[in-house]
Structure 1
Amino acid sequence: MIGLAPPAYDPAAPESATTLPVGSPATVGAYVRELLRRHRRAFTLLIVVNSVAVIASMVGPHLLGGLVQDLADGARELHLGRTVAVFAVALAVQTLFVRMVRLRGAMLGERVLADLREDFLVRSVGLPPGVLERAGTGDLLSRITTDIDRLANAMREAVPQLAIGVVWAGLLIGALTATAPPLALAVLVALPVLLVGCRWYFKRAPGAYRSEAAGYAAVAAALTESVDAGRTIEAHRLGARRIDLSKLRIKQWTAWERYTLFLRSVLFPAVGSFYMLLLGAVLMIGGAFVLRGWMTAGQLTTGALLAQMLVEPVGMILRWYDELQVAQVSLARLVGVREIESDPADDRIAPKGRHVRADEVRFGYRAGHDVLHGVSLDVRPGTRMALVGPSGAGKSTLGRLLAGIYAARAGEVTLGGAELARMPTERVREQVALVNQEHHVFVGSLRDNLLLARSSARDAELWAALGAVDADGWARVLEDGLDTEVGSGGLALTPAQAQQVALARLVLADPHTLVLDEATSLLDPRAARHLERSLARVLDGRTVVAIAHRLHTAHDADVIAVVEDGRITELGSHDALVAADGAYAALWRSWHG
């Protein structure tokens, strides 16, 4: 059973599973204010329309109170026809404006949700590539799926409904005070119960919901990693360990789920007690005042009805505020990307030439654990350089530094004398491109997938790019040609075809410097060799840094750099390094048997 204390966890469990930051209250507040400024006209119109609907709803209690008072005064003419007519008009106005409130609220919610999605996407795409690459898959996935889904309901309903509830309750309390000021004391009698219960709940709820969301992210991360690395897990017999980890994450997540449920089980009875105390206090205080002649029976009737009407807006406020507790955590997780500082960039910095240099570069993924140790490299324009070495030596890391994906911890990487880390990312991407083993086929036509690299390209250029990577053969036999739908729900491309599409994008992007990190790894050796020869014609005159374990790539390069333990141990041409009989010569002999 869950007690009053939240479940205890070790420091490595759900809350620390998040790689990307969670937005601080100040960041979330600033973003909410920004959204309100963007939609202030729609928000103001919603408040006005809702106010009219609430005022119309108070006509009925006022009319009934008047009838009661007339009866108490012994009136013989009640004018029921006029009363019914006025009530019918008020009811019609209320019905019309309630419909407008719902419509305006839904429209406002959808617009806010659209802004939120767009802002998150734009900000995420604008983050330094290294940040997204190091982010946990499960955490990033849960933000763009689960958190967006949770916010969808909040933006569509919770935000407008909360605003409606606050205005509704405020107008009713104002009307109650104006009708019978003593009855406003009834609100003060019942309010402490509501405030104590809400204070207890909302003091614990945000942290609990935050931990619940982090727990779900940990579950998603564990399951996603297990699926992605299924073959590796099976090969190393890690299945039982991964199952135990998944069970642990699920247990921690469900513990937080039960705790948040316990919090709600305390809040709801407190709210019910408030309702009973409010109505009871109105009747008792009002009855005493009527008996003493300090208040009329009509005022008591109107006041009691208005107090009864308070039940719905107060319930609405608490219900949707509780929903916003969950949404606030999701919003903080989405807005958290705003707290990631982009690499310092200066639009005025532009490269003067195509010369790529690395000068005493040091880099590590964790503080105190460098992967590269004082690496210096000089890649002249038009040079074809190959980086070779054992797995884990730092080849791919060095390639990402040369491509501007990562910023060096010490030393610098420059392009045309300009430091890559200080250049805007878009400017870097226009001139340097990284193509690695990872590729993605987007849902859409083959044409759309290619146009991602250059939106202005014509069909002839698209076919030329496919031909340059030997992909036009299979592409031309497709029934709809470039209009063929590919990706999920369409034609499933083989890994080799998907890699060819990625390389065709590279041809269309036309950067002057390329970093190829096992770019042909998914092709068989003969096809890879043929593709690399085709690419050689396309890449002629460009600077190319190729990272590969297949040494035929190194054989064709102008310069070969051997990377071992994060250092360049040999540098020279193929013939020179073979003659030196060092590490490269040993690799070459093992490659050729």
Structure 2
Amino acid sequence: MARVALPVADSAEVKRYAKFLMRKHYARLIEVVGLHGLAALAGLGAPLVFGQLIDRLRAGTSFATVDKLILALLAFALTQAVLTRFAALASTKLGELVLAELREDFVDRVLSIPLSTVERAGTGDLVTRTSRDVAALSHTVRRGVPETLIAMVSILVTGGALVWLSPLLALPCLVGVPFLVAGTRWYLRRAVKAYLRENASNSELLDGLTEAVEGARTTEAFGADKRRKVRTDNDLRENYRAERATLGLRTVFWPIADMGFMLPIASTLFFGGWFFMQGWATAGAVVSAVLLVQQLVDPVDRLLSWMDELQVGGASLARLLGVSMVGDDRKVTGVAAADERLDARGVRYSYVDDRDVLHGVDLSIAPGERLAMVGPSGAGKSTLGRLLAGIDGPRTGAVTVGGAPLVELPLEELRGHVALVTQEHHIFLGTLRENLALAKPTADDEEIKAALQAVDALDWVEELPEGLDTVLGSAKHNVSPAQAQQLALARLVLADPHTLVLDEATSLIDPRSARHLERSLAAVLEGRTVVAIAHRLFSAHDADRVAVVEEGKIAELGSHDELVAANGSYAALWRSWQA
């Protein structure tokens, strides 16, 4: 299957989304900025009062005046502490609110991706977006955005106070600006691209490692160990180069930034002393100016530090927003299905260009019919099943239900007509009731138990510690693969589609249990259309018709008795299975 790279949003889209969030939370944002601005203003009290104290002492003053100035220092410090506390609380609340919305939005975006795209995208890309990128964005939203706002407000307030104190004493601190501006511009031009490359290399590395672990036995059986090792080494090498590139940017940027921090303090102290000697500034003003410049270092340092984190968060946000840019795999035309007849006409399909795996398949399945598809591995059974379920669309030809192409039906309507259940299944962290109610949120306990009874699962469910309220999933109650498969089938019973495509859905259950389960399902699915892709031929024996798929074509089609009598491929399979 050809790999599909999920898109990444461009910087313009990221900025649009950030502006949307700012407009949405404008009132809370103003509150946060206002509180931090007041805290920054309170923080100016100490340097200014300290300068006044020095000038008063040099000019000669009373103990009462000194006491008042010291009390003023304490009052400013206490006020700043209180305001900082409430400002930090408001920042945290805003960050958590935005983060919750981002997570919910991302879940909606992921769930809207066409299943065909999900399967082609590979595990690594989606896993890194849902784990590493979400974690990076969480850190940025929780800490980076509030800290950046705090730093910007502090810089504006403190810089304004320095100019108000003495425009002349404010001039020396400008010596660090060229270093900071030049270094920041150099860094920003390279950072986004570098971090996107780093995230992409992480995705590729994780994808390769996942494939290596999941396909370890297959790799060993075909002697492909060396090729897998070469792939892993190459992925590690690229990941190393990508991370080294971002580290290289930081090792150049931060020494420049540190120089931009230190020069203003030194120059203000040096020129301030000279200004004092010339009589252009008082000693107190010089001390206050030096303290204010030193006070500027922390917010500038934080701004630049979090700017690096914002680049990481921005790259992660671009990857998360890119999920919603995945093109739809179907074009809804509004054509309604006249009935539940499923037809495939001249169907060809390929995962890779110019390499069809289905070659002109023609098949018609009447409502209520049970069709079994059998054939050797790799013949195209599962691919045809996916097309019959509307997961993928044919390259040429058409697959229709009641005359309406499956890929032109809205997903909600499509799933009311046909549903696919495969060997793959998932147990979500939650109660057993919640796991089953995914298929029908309005289902009550009686409906859920009836669905469990239909798939022979009610007995073991009632023996669970808390019955339907038993929590399943990681670190909770674990169910066996066969039980998980029964729960997946119970979801189908609740979903109640007219047509079911079962792709070896009972393969993890032992033959006797599987046969009993399928007979139980037969009673529940009476009157529904069933397409069973099976490797156990008793499913074919019980079907109305059997389609033998070989090399991407339907080689034989008929009832079990007819195909046995024809003495063709199916008859050979039946005899070998009976032996």
Q: What is the TM-score of this pair, normalised by structure 2?
A: 0.93
Q: Deviations over 1:110-136 (max 9, x none)?
A: 112111111111111111111112221
Tell me whether 1:446 sits opposite 2:432 in the alignment: yes
Match in the other structure for 1:108:
94
Contact 2:3/2:121, CA 8 A, preserved across alignment: no
Q: Counterpart of 1:123 in 2: which secondary structure?
A: helix
Tell me whether 1:82 sits opposite 2:68 in the alignment: yes
Of 103, 118, 128, which residue of structure 2 is paired with 1:132?
Answer: 118
Match in the other structure for 2:236:
250
Contact 1:394/1:564, CA 8 A, preserved across alignment: yes
Match in the other structure for 1:319:
305
Q: 1 CA distance for matches of 2:396 and 2:167?
A: 72
Q: Which deviates more from structure 2 when the two are superposed, residues 49-58 or residues 431-440?
A: 431-440
Q: 1 CA distance for matches of 2:27 and 2:242?
A: 39
Q: Which deviates more from structure 2 when the two are superposed, residues 273-282 or residues 471-480?
A: 471-480
Q: Residue 218 of structure 1: CA displacement?
A: 2.3
Contact 1:158/1:323, CA 8 A, preserved across alignment: yes
Tell me whether 1:172 sits opposite 2:155 in the alignment: no
Match in the other structure for 2:176:
190
Match in the other structure for 1:560:
546
RMSD: 2.4
Q: Which deviates more from structure 2 when the two are superposed, residues 541-550 or residues 222-231?
A: 222-231
Structure 1 residues 2-17: aligned runs within 5 Å: none
Q: Residue 193 of structure 1: CA displacement?
A: 1.2
Q: 1 CA distance for matches of 2:93 and 2:4?
A: 33
Q: Which deviates more from structure 2 when the two are superposed, residues 20-29 or residues 159-168?
A: 20-29
Cα gap change, 1:295 to 1:206, in 2 (>3 Å):
same
Q: Deviations over 1:199-227 (max 9, x none)?
A: 33333322222222222222222222222
Match in the other structure for 2:377:
391
Q: 1 CA distance for matches of 2:552 and 2:19?
A: 48
Match in the other structure for 2:341:
355
Q: 2 CA distance for matches of 1:557 and 1:338?
A: 42
Of 403, 411, 416, which residue of structure 2 is paired with 1:430?
Answer: 416
Q: 2 CA distance for matches of 1:183 and 1:417?
A: 82
Q: Deviations over 1:231-257 (max 9, x none)?
A: 323434444543443343233323333
Of 514, 517, 523, which residue of structure 1 is paired with 2:503?
Answer: 517
Structure 1 residues 525-536: aligned runs within 5 Å: 525-536=511-522
Tell me whether 1:199 sits opposite 2:188 in the alignment: no
Match in the other structure for 1:342:
328
Tell me whether 1:21 sits opposite 2:21 in the alignment: no
Q: 1 CA distance for matches of 2:319 and 2:354?
A: 28
Q: 2 CA distance for matches of 1:503 and 1:256?
A: 45
Match in the other structure for 1:212:
198
Tell me whether 1:272 sits opposite 2:255 in the alignment: no
Q: 2 CA distance for matches of 1:202 and 1:398?
A: 49
Q: Residue 535 of structure 1: CA displacement?
A: 1.2
Contact 1:128/1:425, CA 8 A, preserved across alignment: no
Q: Deviations over 1:161-215 (max 9, x none)?
A: 0111111112222222222223343343211111222233333322222222222
Of 127, 136, 141, which residue of structure 2 is paired with 1:155?
Answer: 141
Q: Residue 282 of structure 1: CA displacement?
A: 2.0
Contact 1:18/1:139, CA 8 A, preserved across alignment: no
Q: 2 CA distance for matches of 1:155 and 1:62?
A: 34
Tell me whether 1:380 sits opposite 2:366 in the alignment: yes
Which one-letter code corresponds to 1:352 in the other structure?
A
Q: Counterpart of 1:274 in 2: which secondary structure?
A: helix
Match in the other structure for 2:573:
587
Q: Residue 348 of structure 1: CA displacement?
A: 4.6
Q: 2 CA distance for matches of 1:517 and 1:576?
A: 24
| Percentage of identical aligned residues | 49
Match in the other structure for 1:9:
none
Q: 2 CA distance for matches of 1:363 and 1:188?
A: 66
Match in the other structure for 2:475:
489
Contact 1:20/1:336, CA 8 A, preserved across alignment: yes
Tell me whether 1:41 sits opposite 2:27 in the alignment: yes
Contact 1:18/1:217, CA 8 A, preserved across alignment: no
Q: Counterpart of 1:364 in 2: which secondary structure?
A: strand
Q: Deviations over 1:264-284 (max 9, x none)?
A: 222221122112211122234
Contact 2:440/2:494, CA 8 A, preserved across alignment: yes
Q: Counterpart of 1:92 in 2: which secondary structure?
A: helix
Q: Residue 406 of structure 1: CA displacement?
A: 1.4
Of 38, 43, 49, which residue of structure 2 is paired with 1:63?
Answer: 49
Q: Residue 390 of structure 1: CA displacement?
A: 2.0
Q: 1 CA distance for matches of 2:301 and 2:498?
A: 63
Tell me whether 1:417 sits opposite 2:403 in the alignment: yes
Which one-letter code corresponds to 1:211 in the other structure?
R
Q: Residue 524 of structure 1: CA displacement?
A: 2.1
Contact 1:168/1:313, CA 8 A, preserved across alignment: yes
Q: 1 CA distance for matches of 2:519 and 2:102?
A: 46
Q: Which deviates more from structure 2 when the two are superposed, residues 161-170 or residues 210-219?
A: 210-219
Q: 1 CA distance for matches of 2:120 and 2:576?
A: 34
Contact 1:17/1:214, CA 8 A, preserved across alignment: no
Q: Which deviates more from structure 2 when the two are superposed, residues 198-207 or residues 331-340?
A: 198-207
Q: Deviations over 1:302-324 (max 9, x none)?
A: 32221111100000001111112
Q: Residue 362 of structure 1: CA displacement?
A: 2.8
Q: Which deviates more from structure 2 when the two are superposed, residues 554-563 or residues 234-243?
A: 234-243
Q: 2 CA distance for matches of 1:250 and 1:18?
A: 21
Contact 1:443/1:486, CA 8 A, preserved across alignment: yes
Residues paired across the two proteins, number: 577
Q: Counterpart of 2:252 in 1: which secondary structure?
A: helix
Q: Counterpart of 2:425 in 1: which secondary structure?
A: coil
Which one-letter code corresponds to 2:252 in the other structure?
V
Match in the other structure for 1:467:
453
Q: Which deviates more from structure 2 when the two are superposed, residues 568-577 or residues 330-339?
A: 568-577
Contact 1:359/1:377, CA 8 A, preserved across alignment: yes
Contact 1:180/1:300, CA 8 A, preserved across alignment: no
Q: Counterpart of 1:370 in 2: which secondary structure?
A: strand
Match in the other structure for 1:3:
none
Q: Residue 570 of structure 1: CA displacement?
A: 2.9
Of 217, 231, 239, which residue of structure 2 is paired with 1:231?
Answer: 217
Q: Which deviates more from structure 2 when the two are superposed, residues 19-28 or residues 163-172?
A: 19-28
Gaps of 5+ in 2: none
Match in the other structure for 2:246:
260
Q: Residue 296 of structure 1: CA displacement?
A: 4.0
Q: 1 CA distance for matches of 2:154 and 2:404?
A: 60
Which one-letter code corresponds to 1:540 in the other structure?
E
Cα gap change, 1:178 to 1:19, in 2 (>3 Å):
same
Q: Residue 52 of structure 1: CA displacement?
A: 0.2
Which one-letter code corresponds to 1:515 in the other structure?
V
Q: 2 CA distance for matches of 1:486 and 1:189?
A: 63
Which one-letter code corresponds to 2:328 in the other structure?
S
Which one-letter code corresponds to 1:231 in the other structure?
R
Q: Residue 398 of structure 1: CA displacement?
A: 1.4
Match in the other structure for 1:118:
104
Contact 1:361/1:413, CA 8 A, preserved across alignment: yes
Of 130, 153, 177, which residue of structure 2 is paired with 1:144?
Answer: 130
Q: 2 CA distance for matches of 1:294 and 1:345?
A: 76
Q: 2 CA distance for matches of 1:177 and 1:577?
A: 95
Q: 1 CA distance for matches of 2:108 and 2:489?
A: 25
Contact 1:17/1:217, CA 8 A, preserved across alignment: no
Q: What is the TM-score of this pair, normalised by structure 1?
A: 0.91
Q: 1 CA distance for matches of 2:4 and 2:546?
A: 40
Q: Which deviates more from structure 2 when the two are superposed, residues 52-61 or residues 447-456?
A: 447-456
Q: 2 CA distance for matches of 1:462 and 1:253?
A: 48
Cα gap change, 1:171 to 1:353, in 2 (>3 Å):
same
